[in-house]
Amino acid sequence: MTSPAIEVRDLRKTYPAFRRTRVAALRGISLAVEPGTIFGLIGQNGAGKTTLVKILLGLATPTGGSAILLGQPPRNAAMRRRLGYLPEQMRLPDYLNSKDFLRYMGQLNHLESAGMSRRIPELLDRVGLAGIRGPVKAYSKGMQQRLGLAQALINDPDVLFLDEPTDGLDPLGRKEVRDLLVRLRGEGKTIFLNSHLLSEIELVCDKIAILKTGEVACVSVPSDFTRGTGEYVVRVTQVNDGVRAAAEAVIPSVQIKWQERALRFPARDLAQLNALLDRLRCIPVEIEAVEPVRRSLEEFFLDVVAGQEA
């Protein structure tokens, strides 16, 4: 078995606060991120996400517990050269152009000039900035975000930490970033993704952890979070008296939610669902779709925050 790319055991962090009281940002977190996967971290503001990332990057020291990245502690210098990081609010020097900025970041990573001359154009092309000229101060928020993503990749990292990577991007730009993340995963990169855009997390992550007040509330795959509710929506060409009568002959009327061209109801089992469809076919009415109702990651997250999920 391969070792986790990131492994956290009983990680704790307590900050001093006003009048000698102490604030526990992390309360014994344990989790593991497998190599070559996209791991999503979500939680409310103040849940401990930023503190966890700072410890993993070696920017903060834990009060207790341990963190291991690529088999080494976070402050191991050789290991840190194998990491890439895009912070949520990255400040770019507005007087540099994209190539000069990436060259500067490459120098900070001790990259050779010859290698950067080949890599920089490739990176700009990958993030959709090929051919863009002029200083950074003329870039839109979305363009600056793309350039920030390129700098996180400048050293060809094995593990990539991304904080709100699609912030400021339009829908097409967000899709392009998602596609890039999937390609990077295919190249064997491990991606640790932190975002408030739960729909983005749901689309690309292999596993998701939810933090709540400094603790791991749950860790699972997206399909577990977005499982079916037991309800179905049956879409028809029109809802008339015949459709209503057929539905109420099979489903208790109090359980049916009527829409303009659909009905939604909790099915006792598949036999009850098929009995309804048979009734509708006898009217007759054209059935356009039968859709199981699944809750979104956002709905699951709100349940966890409200304390309704274990």
pLDDT digits (tens, 9 = 90+) for 106-130: 998 888 888 888 999 999 998 888 8
Q: Tell me how far apart the alpha carbons of residues 173 and 300 are, in angstroms, rounded to a whole number.
A: 26
More confident residue, 1 or 93: 93
**pLDDT of amino acid 120:** 93
**pLDDT of amino acid 172:** 87
Residue (of 119, 115, 303, 131) closest to 225 by Cα position: 303
**pLDDT of amino acid 131:** 84
Q: Are 222 and 204 in contact (CB under 8 A)?
A: no
**Three-state secondary structure call for residue 237:** coil
**pLDDT of amino acid 79:** 93
User: What's the rounded mean pLDDT across residues 209-222?
Assistant: 89
Q: Percent of the chain, pLDDT > 90? A: 53
Task: Reply yes or no on domain 6-221 having CATH 3.90.79.10.
Answer: no
**pLDDT of amino acid 308:** 53
Q: Tell me how far apart the alpha carbons of residues 304 and 262 are, in angstroms, rounded to a whole number.
A: 30
**pLDDT of amino acid 62:** 93
> Which pairing describes strands 207-212 and 38-43: parallel, antiparallel, or unpaired?
parallel
- pTM recorded for the entire structure: 0.83
Give Cβ neighbours of residue 62 (< 8 Å, ≥ 6 apart). 11, 12, 13, 26, 55
Read off the pLDDT band of 310 (50, 70, 90). Answer: very low
Whether the predicted pLDDT of 195 surpasses 60: yes
User: What's the rounded mean pLDDT across residues 79-89?
Assistant: 90
The CATH number fitting domain 228-294, selected from 3.10.300.10, 3.30.465.10, 1.10.3720.10, 3.30.70.100: 3.30.70.100
Whether the predicted pLDDT of 20 surpasses 70: no
Q: What is the DSSP letter of 75?
A: T
**pLDDT of amino acid 201:** 87
Whether the predicted pLDDT of 14 surpasses 50: yes
What is the average pLDDT value for the chain, to the nearest integer? 89
Read off the pLDDT band of 10 (50, 70, 90). Answer: very high
Read off the pLDDT band of 296 (50, 70, 90). Answer: confident
Phi/psi at 149 (5° precision): -65, -40
Hey, where are the domains in the chain?
Answer: 6-221, 228-294
222-250: pLDDT as tens digits: 888 777 788 899 999 989 999 999 999 99
**pLDDT of amino acid 233:** 93
Whether the predicted pLDDT of 140 surpasses 70: yes
